[in-house]
Structures are given as structure tokens and as C-alpha cells.
Amino acid sequence: MTRSIPVVSYLELAGPSRLVADECATCGALHLDRRQRCGRCGGTRLSERPLAPAGTIRTFTVVHRSAPGVEVPFTSVVVDLDGGGTVRGNLVDPLPEPAAITAGDRLRMVERVVGVDVDGTEAVAYAFALEER
Amino acid sequence: MNDSVWIVGASMTPFGRWPAEDAMSLGATAAAAAVDDAGVAWHDIGMMTAACALDVMPAGQRIQKLLVQTGIPVVNVTNACASGATAVRVAQLAIASGEVDVALAVGTEQMGKMGMLLVNQQAPRDRFEPAGRYGAVMPVEGVLGTELMPGVFAMAGMQYALRHNVDVRHFAQVAVKNHRHSTLNPLAQYRKELSLDDVLAADTVAYPNTIPMCCPTGDGAAAVVLASDAFVDCLDPGVRQPATRCTTSTR
């Protein structure tokens, strides 16, 4: 069986996979990066909270020119997840007509394999797919 | 305490790609011209601030090695896009505090063709092992969206556009206006007027921004000489009269 590893540690591979944030016990702020204090209030008590696998688009861009080694074009989205938490990710293919994306568009999280290392371990990333309006 | 701080000299190099120069020689050119513009002597300068965001080695000392080495104390500052403005701010504070009467602030950069796109790029790894604040097992630019500047600022603009029903053409008009201004500035990197159609038809960098809607990468430097009230009072009237006060009096 192929071994899999999440591309970042805030993605938990399970059935179904989910994003897990650190939530501040004092103010409720959510963080996806490893922190020593809450970014909003400085609180010290952070505990894990799973995030919803769907949300509403906050913003996006279609990147056509990037650094060497980065495959273009790709669409980057920022998603406000249902129930809290905001995350940046790729939109899965196909490339949308940018002018067709509007405020309120709904997205759901999907998984995809984004690389295989020398041991055959697959890196699994999350991405987002636009829901039909 | 000095109530007022004045700009008594200023200079800027032309912006462009200057492969025969480096950030220090550009900074030295701007610094020397600002000091000449002010008409002050090097020994009058009580401190210097220097900003260079992409070169981690201290810029101020290296600029002095190209000019004069008379022991002017240096504070090197870095503050991303605001590095040059922060250099001015720190020089202003040194005068306002009463510590010095004259300060030189320099900002310089040599970005070359790639600029910030070469910053913070990780090399791919043979084995997937979590590293860093996000526990990433591989470089994630283009995998988990974009965090490079052209894409980040495009997303900031699109967040505004989606919320306020702004048309892409509104953003393009900003570029049209700015390119028109460039034709009036002999130091600008590009000096060409562009129509709305020119801007919209150019290749996209990160939607909605096309090439003429993005800052060019380039090389250049600027410098100002700041002085206290007391020092300005002693200046030749030809320098004193055009001096610009950069803080207002609190009296």
C-alpha cells in the first residue's frame, strides 16, 4: 500500500480528510500555522479544532507568471470556511473564466496527490472546487 | 528636543536596470548628491541611516566606504517596501530627540530582473519530511495557492473588487494614470504613455493585473539630508529658503 503524507501538518488525512486549526481558548481566533501565542489576543491556551470542508470565496487570482520551478497558470483562492477559519489554496482544474467568479461563490474541499518522493511516499494536498450555482 | 526637522538636501538616481552598478554604488551616488544639494560638510553629519531590503549585509557602512570614512554612526534599517521611508523616519527621530543636528538617510536597491520572485524560494526535497511553521513537506507555492507578492496583491485587489463590485477596468485606469505621470518624471524607469486598451491587452501576471499594472523590478537609490531648526538657522539663505519642514511644531 502506498504511504501518504499531508503536504502541511494542518491537513489531517483520514476518511474524510480535514483541516485542523489551533483555536484560542480565550478569544476563539483560529490559526493554521504553529504559534506560541494567539495572534489576536496573545492567549496561551490553543487547542485543535477541525474546520468545515466547504465555504465561500473571499478572493482569488490566476497566476500566469511566477518564480522558476512553479507550474503556471494556476488559480489561488482564499476561502472563508463555514463555521469559521480562512484558508488559502489552489482551485482544481479547469481554469475558470475569472470574470465569471462572483462574491458568494461556494467552494468545497477536495484532495489531490501533488508529488511522490524517492521512497514512493505520496504528498497529499487539499484544493478547492467551485460548486455549481 | 528639536521641535522641527527639515529636509535640506535630496537626490535620486534614475531608476532602471544598472548591471554595471551595485546597490552600494547607487546608494553612494544618491547620498553624495544629497549632501552636495544640502551644501553641508561631511563632518556636520551626526548620523546616517541606510535601507536595503534585499541585501542582508549592512548597507550604510559599505556606502561610506565608497564616500568618506570619518566615523559617522550608522543605523541600518529594513522594513520591506517601507525600508527607505523608515530610514527617513529614524533619521528624523535622531534629530527630533536632540541627539544630532544633521542626519543623512539613504535607501537603495538592486532588484535585477526577478526581484522578489527569487526571495524565500525553497528547493524541492528528495524525502517528504515536515518542516517550518506549517509542517510543509515540499515547496507549496502554486500547490496551496500563492504567497508571492504579485499574487498576494492581486488577491487583495480582487477581495476589494468582489465586495464592492469594482470592475477590472477601474484597476487598469490606475495604471493608465500612473504611466501618464511617468512621462513627466525624468528619473522614472519607463516613460511611456499607455491607453486603457494597451494596459488591458498586455500579458497577465496575476489576474487582474497585467504587466503594465505591476511595479517593474529595477535598480535605484534616493537620499535626503535632514537638519534641526538650529542648524537650518545657520545655513546659507540659498539652502535655507527651499528647505522643507517634515514635522510640524508642537509649540
**Residue B201 pLDDT exceeds 70:** yes
Domains held by chain A: number: 1
| pTM given for the model | 0.89
Split at pLDDT 50, 70, 90, the class of A127 is very high
Contact residues, chain A, for B205 at CB < 8 Å = 63-65
Q: What value does the mean pLDDT take over residues A70-90?
A: 97
**How many residues are recorded in chain B?**
251
Chain A residues within 8 A of B212 when measuring between CB atoms: none
Return d(Cα B235, Cα B205) in angstroms, integer. 50
Does pLDDT of B119 surpass 60?
Answer: no
A 93-122 residues with CB < 8 A to B = 98-99, 101-103, 114-115, 117-119, 121
Least confident range of A14-18, B4-8, B72-76 = A14-18
Q: Do A61 and B151 touch (CB under 8 A)?
A: yes
Residue B117: band (very low, low, confident or very high) from pLDDT cuts 50, 70, 90: low
- The helix or strand, by DSSP H or E, that contains position A89, with its residue range, turns out to be strand A86-91
- Phi, psi for B62 (deg, rounded to 5): -70, -35
> pLDDT by residue (tens digit) across B221-246?
999 999 999 999 888 777 777 777 76
Contact assessment for residue A32 and residue A19, using Cβ atoms and an 8 Å cutoff: yes
- The distance of A49 to chain B (nearest Cα, Å) reads 16
Instruction: With cut-offs at 50, 70 and 90, classify the pLDDT of residue A40.
Output: very high
Would you place residue B121 in the very low, low, confident or very high pLDDT band (cuts 50, 70, 90)? low
Domain that holds residue A13: 4-130
Measure the CA–CA gap between B123 and A88, rounded to whole angstroms: 21
Q: Strands B244-245, B5-12: parallel, antiparallel or unpaired by DSSP? A: antiparallel
Q: What share of chain A is helix, strand, coil (3-state, %, to 5)?
A: 0, 45, 50
Which residue from B168, B166, B177, B164 is spatially nearest to B200, judged by alpha carbons? B168
- Here the cell at position B236 is 546659507
Residue A18, CA distances (Å) to A5, A28, A48, B50, B164 in order: 13, 19, 12, 47, 32
Is B40 exposed, middle or buried, given 0-12, 13-18 or 19+ CB atoms closer than 10 A? buried
- Give the confidence band of B120 by pLDDT, cuts at 50, 70, 90: low
What gap in Å lies between CA B47 and CA B34, rounded to an integer? 14
pLDDT at B128: 94
Average pLDDT over residues A70-93: 96
CATH 3.40.47.10 range(s) for chain B read 5-114+218-245
As a whole number of angstroms, the distance between CA B75 and CA A14 comes to 52
The pLDDT value given to residue B238: 75
pLDDT(B249) > 50: no
What is chain B's mean pLDDT, rounded? 91
CATH number of B5-114+218-245: 3.40.47.10
Q: Give B248's Cβ-side CA count (13 Å radius).
A: 1
pLDDT score for B223: 98
Residue from B128, B133, B210 to probe the interface with A (highest A Cβ count within 10 Å): B128
Residue A31: pLDDT over 80: yes
Instruction: Note the pLDDT of residue B234.
Output: 85
Average per-residue pLDDT for chain A: 94
C-alpha cell at B20: 554595471
Per-residue pLDDT of B137-178, as tens digits, reads 999 999 999 999 999 999 999 999 999 989 899 999 999 999
Residues of B with CB under 8 A from a CB of A: 114, 117-118, 121, 124-128, 130, 133-148, 150-151, 154-156, 158-159, 162-163, 168, 203-208
pLDDT 10s digits, B95-108 = 999 999 999 999 99
Residue B2 confidence (pLDDT) above 90: no
- Cβ proximity of A55 and A79 under 8 Å: yes
